[in-house]
Amino acid sequence: MRTIYFDNNATTAVDPQVLEAMLPFFQGLYGNPSSMHHKGGEVAAALRQARQQLADLLGCEPGEIIYTSCGTESDNTAMWSALRTQPDKKHLITSRVEHSAIINNAAFLRRLGYQVTEVGVDRDGLLNLSQLEKALTPDTALVSLLWANNETGVLFPVEDVARLCSEKGIVFHTDAVQAVGKIPINLKASKIDMLSLAGHKLHAPKGIGALYVRKGLKFAPFMIGGHQEGGRRGGTENTPYIVGLGVAARLAGERLPEENTRVKALRDRLEAGLLKIPYAMVNGHRTIRLPNTTNISFEYIEGESILFHLSHAGICASSGSACTSGSLEPSHVLRAMGVPFTAAHGSIRLSLGVTNTDDEVDEALKIFPEVVAKLRELSPFWKDDGPVQESELLSCEDNNCQICN
């Protein structure tokens, strides 16, 4: 059975060119870049090149990049740096659809006595900008927003918000883990103060991330240690992975046009085909969105069941249903958007990449209707070719359920 991998927002395959560039750093090029001898020197040179490659993709200076272990570490570093460098300010702003790295930090900070504003989104997943503007106060230390939503692909106007924050002297951070490599980014021309990224979303391996910190911004390290990364992140550099991320960044830059033409066309054709299935709907704005992602709900069936049947047929995808989230409630992103529960439980995210082909889309368009039909046949909410109108199970017993209300 062949694999059709439509889960590139979860992670991507390491590009063969990336792996090839990394391998020598496990063997001959094992030096510590800090060492004052030629074994250290040759590695230090490779790191300089890798840092330049990543800086080119982001449109920033190499010295503005701090390597981390993952996107979550980058997010943590950014958040805590902003708060620790402005100890008098006790307010931060984020949104209701952030990554768990930000959400759970925000919850923790609240318990420590910080005030946190979580800005809402509309039915399309777009940021409520006026709510954000009103929330900015002289006490606000930080605004942190996702650039591209991992579940829906919807984009936030981070450059506009960054400008607004800059005018008011508020630090602005964006988690751009899903955006880097998929949309053009030029940090020189923006007012973004900090930006998080993760290597494994752009064909580098898991275990390497980076944080952009605008030159001149006050910074407090998260990992206290040696002089590495200009004293901003202690710990001997993860040299093979940094080199890998450099090559991945170069490839991402080269492939950016393809991502926004060919991959986008594949996504659009897949989405249009899937919308022919009755009671299917797209979650998230159709144009203000990443070129590779679609989030579609198939009503009256449940996401995990869909995923298992898809997987059986070779298709890898993910879902915002409760059963797959590890919690008992469906995705917080879909809930924040007000997607009805009937649809949220049956939501499927398909995220494409440069390795996907037309054939794979054709194949998926054959498999999906069969899977959906099979599960609807089992569903107590479905009869013949439509939903059962009068089902007691459609609503809660007492209509008092907090999830729906």
Site for other proteins in 281-300 (CB under 8 A): 300
Q: How far is the CB of 141 from other proteins (least distance, A)?
A: 21
Cβ atoms of 144 and 173 within 8 Å: the answer is yes
Q: Is 49 in the site for other proteins (CB under 8 A)?
A: no
**Of 84-143, which residues contact other proteins (CB under 8 A)?**
108, 111
Of the candidates 316, 315, 314, 319, which has an alpha carbon nearest to the alpha carbon of residue 283? Answer: 319
Q: Which of residues 88, 385, 390, 392 is near other proteins by CB under 8 A? A: 392
Quick one: which H or E segment has residue 274? helix 264-274
Least distance (Å) between residue 377 CB and other proteins: 7
- Reference 177, options 74, 95, 275, 269; nearest CA is 74
Check if 70 is active-site.
Answer: no
Q: Which residue(s) pair with 272 in the sheet?
A: none
Cβ-contact 179, 162 below 8 angstroms: no
Residue whose structure tokens are 């006026």: 130
Of the candidate residues 342, 349, 353, 364, the single one contacting other proteins (CB under 8 A): 342
Only one of the segments 41-49, 125-133, 219-227, 319-327 lies at the binding site for other proteins (rule: CB under 8 A); that segment is 319-327
Task: Please give the structure tokens belonging to residue 121.
Answer: 């989104």
Question: Per the residue annotation, which of 70, 165, 323, 396 is the catalytic one?
Answer: 323
From 42, 268, 329, 363, residue interacting with other proteins (rule: CB under 8 A): 329
Residues 350-389, interacting with other proteins (CB under 8 A): 377-381
- Taking each helix axis from N to C end, the angle separating 303-312 and 358-378, rounded to the nearest 10 degrees, works out to 130
Q: Closer CB to other proteins, residue 80 or residue 341?
A: 341
Binding other proteins (rule: CB under 8 A), the pick from 88, 384, 385, 397 is 397
Which tokens hold the place of 331? 């995705």
Task: Determine if residue 169 is left, alpha or beta; phi over 0 gives left, psi from -120 to 50 gives alpha, anything else beta.
Answer: left
The partner residues of 397 in beta bridges, in order of sequence, read none
* Residues with a known catalytic role: 323
Binding interface with other proteins (CB under 8 A): 108, 111, 300-305, 308-309, 312, 321-324, 326-330, 341-342, 345, 377-381, 392-398, 400-404
